[in-house]
């Protein structure tokens, strides 16, 4: 025989997961729209349809919630490894998934807060940059990984935030080939001699 308590436990677990997800989704939207300083926990709670006290219950603080939002929106990075960069270039010059666009807006609009900058930088360095550096051969892979990420971010901002007409309507595969070649050059283990390169 099933007791009322045991029957309700799975439902409570599902409700908790749904509440946590609703809070995180609302937080991502709020941080992408208003940045770390402009997004209040009260606004996030209202958007999620929950009592503001539940944010503290599930995430502890606005800072922790921001950390989770960064983790969520910085997922699925592009691995810019020589020999595979044509596919990366095609992805960068296509419409970004909504999650990536929100991550970029969250980054730009939170850059005025030093603690938010630390959180974003630490996450990039400890995850994406380190994973990419591990995949690169040759000397100084950490610096080359950082350069690749900087190029990737710049292209995404120009295309998907500022809506560069040249990058949104490239017209041919030439621009994809050029971007792929640039990524390959940065990722290669042998740096070009002084005066050579692009």
Which pLDDT belongs to residue 171? 63
Q: Per-residue pLDDT for 189 more than 70?
A: yes
Q: What is the C-alpha separation between 136 and 16, in angstroms, rounded?
A: 41
Which pLDDT belongs to residue 25? 96
Which pLDDT belongs to residue 63? 97
Q: Model confidence over 58-91: pLDDT tens digits?
A: 999 999 999 999 999 998 778 899 988 999 999 9
Fold assignment, 4-67: Arc Repressor Mutant, subunit A (1.10.10)
For residue 162 the two structure tokens come to 């500022």
Mean pLDDT for the chain?
87
Instruction: Give the range among 6-15, 52-61, 64-73 with minimum mean pLDDT.
Output: 6-15
Which contacts of 13-22 are long-range, i.e. CB under 8 A and separated by 24 or more positions? 16/58, 19/48, 19/50, 19/54, 19/58, 20/58, 20/59, 22/48, 22/49, 22/50
Residue spans per domain, the chain: 4-67, 74-187
Q: Model confidence over 24-41: pLDDT tens digits?
A: 999 999 999 999 999 999
Which residue in the block uniquely carries the two structure tokens 């409700």? 15
Q: What is the C-alpha separation between 55 and 64, in angstroms, rounded?
A: 10
Instruction: Compute the average pLDDT of residues 125-144.
Output: 94
Instruction: Give the range among 50-54, 87-91, 128-132, 165-169 with minimum mean pLDDT.
Output: 165-169
């Amino acid at each position: 025989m099933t007791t009322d308590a045991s029957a309700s436990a799975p439902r409570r677990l599902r409700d908790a997961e749904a509440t946590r997800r609703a809070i995180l989704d609302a937080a991502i939207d709020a941080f992408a729209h208003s940045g770390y300083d402009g997004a209040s926990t009260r606004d996030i709670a209202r958007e999620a349809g929950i009592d503001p006290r539940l944010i503290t219950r599930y995430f502890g603080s606005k800072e922790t919630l921001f950390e989770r939002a960064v983790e969520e929106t910085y997922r699925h990075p592009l691995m810019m490894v020589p020999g595979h960069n044509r596919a990366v270039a095609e992805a960068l010059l296509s419409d970004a998934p909504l999650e990536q666009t929100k991550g970029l807006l969250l980054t730009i609009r939170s850059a005025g807060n030093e603690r938010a900058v630390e959180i974003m930088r630490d996450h990039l360095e400890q995850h994406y940059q380190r994973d990419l550096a591990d995949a690169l051969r040759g000397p100084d892979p950490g610096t080359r990984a950082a350069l690749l990420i900087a190029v990737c971010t710049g292209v995404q901002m120009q295309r998907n935030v500022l809506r560069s007409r040249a990058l949104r309507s490239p017209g041919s595969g030439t621009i994809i080939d050029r971007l792929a070649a640039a990524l390959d050059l940065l990722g290669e283990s042998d740096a070009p001699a002084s005066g050579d390169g692009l």
